[in-house]
Chains A and B, each alone.
Chain A
Amino acid sequence: MSAVETKSTSEVVASKPNQHGYKAFTLGEFAFSRDEYFVYVKWPTGSHVMSADAFLRALQRDVAWDFFYGIVNFDGVVGTMNHYGTVDLFAGRYNDSYRKAELDHVENFETPLIRETFKSMLDDWTNKTFDPFASPFETGTAFGGKNGENRAAINRHRVTAKRMVSVAGDEPIRTDANGFPINRQFKDVPQDEPEIKAELGFENEVASFNLFAYLSRSNVTWNPSVVSVCKDSLYCPTTEEYILPIIHGNDRVEWFIQLSDEIYWDVEDRDSGAARAKVVMKAGDVSAMPAYIRHQGYSPKRSMLLVWENGSPDLPALISSGKLPSVPAEF
């Protein structure tokens, strides 16, 4: 494995467009390019190819989540690890075979540099026909030569409620009028709102909304967004359809509460990729994802999943040092 010191310049290094109309990008010793079908990643000890649609779906999540909690594996080879201020970009680091062959490579970047490079790549490589956040049935093709851009789709507002959606001054509920029609797979979800009777002077403190209706109007998939906040406890529900475009490696315990329908999870060892478990979650099921695993979900029908996070910035160091357990409870 090779590792270098943190790269701190925030200048994006990009080429002129190639014969397909796409720029190539360089980040440290990593090089990224795409053609009509594929994305190519090169580093000093190897190279890798991914389908352009899968790469862009993963890149979209990494950009939108600002590298999220822990590891965002684009697939079994390439991905990022968030150190909250800096980010590792890796190839083969969490792949047992690459590690044993000493073909893995990691570089650490100041977050603004990798953020801006990834944003530029997403912007340049996403054609007007493709929405990386949408389910496959709800978007056109990612393939072909450069064909316009889709900035409205890739720069969507990410919901991060400060207290709770619907509270005065916080994130609004979703309606037809503000551009959120009910999704085709959630037409049967009741849209009734709670009956609120607030006494005079307490109109802004008595707050409630229909979370399920709110989720039925989400126009993205696999995009946890904060709807309620109890200190570092964050309710991050999301609507899921088809496959989670990344394999999420935890740096803390994460919880899933299945609100509707069902999802199948493949769970692997976070560091080696060895299979650990399969989890089938149906409506009402609750499951922890321990801090030592990575997971990828499959949702045959659009479903509602409550992702519950402890956003404390202290957790990764406390868990990796053994001061906190990597499992939620001992019994």
Chain B
Amino acid sequence: MSDYVTRFGSLESYTKGGVEIIDDDPKHYTFSNIFEVASKAKPYQKIAVAKNIQYVVEVQRAEGTSDWRAAAHDEFALVMDGEVQIRLLKLAEPSIVPSGTDGSIRLAGKPEGKPMGTVKARRGHLTLLPAGAAYQFHADRPGVILLQTIAGKDTEFRWAEICQTASRNVPFSVA
């Protein structure tokens, strides 16, 4: 019987697949790799790797301490590499994020409010960033966060830089 090895990616070690075109435009697949994107990103830059109308999945390179941010809706942070501390704070004045705002907004410094707690999250851990709460990320060493959210004013769309734009034959790893 085989000893199965589960392969995850990381900033230090990832292998990229790709799109081999038969009759289509490779750009329609918007193909990228989150570790490659994070490896070239500045800390906590919010780079969209997936977009479905107003919704996005953003990659963030976790390194050092982020700004405080808050959203009017739930967001979800999945750590894909490294260890990230997530600090949560219940806003004393939730209206600093106007109702109906899409995505998170950057707050000027630590906002007023009650500490809710912290989460130390490692690879594979999915954390709720609740609506009406401010949050801050901290990572001692570089890591990667995948954020489920709505496109906001700080979301960056860099498709031409991060996506495959020509057909590429990628061999299978197995066999």
Contact = CB atoms under 8 A, between A and B. Distances in A.
A164 interface: yes
Interface in B46-91: 49-53, 55, 57, 73-76, 78, 80, 86, 88, 90
B23 A274 contact: yes
A280 B159 contact: no
B80 A284 contact: yes
A257 B50 contact: yes
Contact of A255 (B14, B57, B121, B157): B57
A233 B55 CA distance: 6
A164 B23 contact: no
A274 B117 CA distance: 53
Contacts of A186: 4, 6
B124 A206 contact: no
Contacts of A286: 30-34, 49-50, 57
Given A206-B88, A230-B75, A277-B21, A255 B124 contact: no
Interface of B: 4-9, 14-24, 26-36, 49-53, 55, 57, 73-76, 78, 80, 86, 88, 90, 114-128, 130, 133, 146, 148-150, 157, 159-160, 163, 170-175
A211 interface: yes
Interface stretch (A96-104, A138-146, A323-331): A323-331
Contacts of A287: 19, 29-31
Contact of B76 (A190, A197, A228): A228
Contacts of B115: 199
A186 B8 CA distance: 12
Given A197-B118, A199-B117, A233 B4 contact: no
Given A197-B117, A198-B116, A199-B114, A331 B163 contact: yes
10 contacts: A190-B124, A194-B119, A205-B90, A206-B88, A206-B118, A208-B119, A210-B126, A286-B34, A293-B24, A328-B28
- Size class of the A contact interface (CB-based, 8 Å): 35 or more
A274 to B, nearest CB: 7
A253 B52 contact: yes
A68 to B, nearest CB: 16
A166 B70 CA distance: 22
- In order of increasing CB-CB distance, the 7 nearest A-B pairs are A212-B124, A284-B9, A280-B17, A283-B9, A310-B52, A331-B159, A198-B117
Nearest to A192: B122
Nearest to B150: A230
Contacts of A267: 24
B50 A255 contact: yes
Given A267-B24, A282-B7, 11 more contacts: A194-B122, A198-B116, A205-B130, A206-B128, A208-B127, A212-B8, A232-B55, A261-B7, A286-B49, A308-B57, A331-B163
A262 interface: yes
A193 B32 CA distance: 29
A227 interface: yes
Contact of B127 (A194, A197, A235): A194
Contacts of A284: 9, 14, 16, 33-36, 80
A280 B18 contact: yes
Nearest to B144: A284
A210 B55 contact: no
Contacts of B173: 262, 282
Contact of B124 (A187, A210, A230, A281): A210
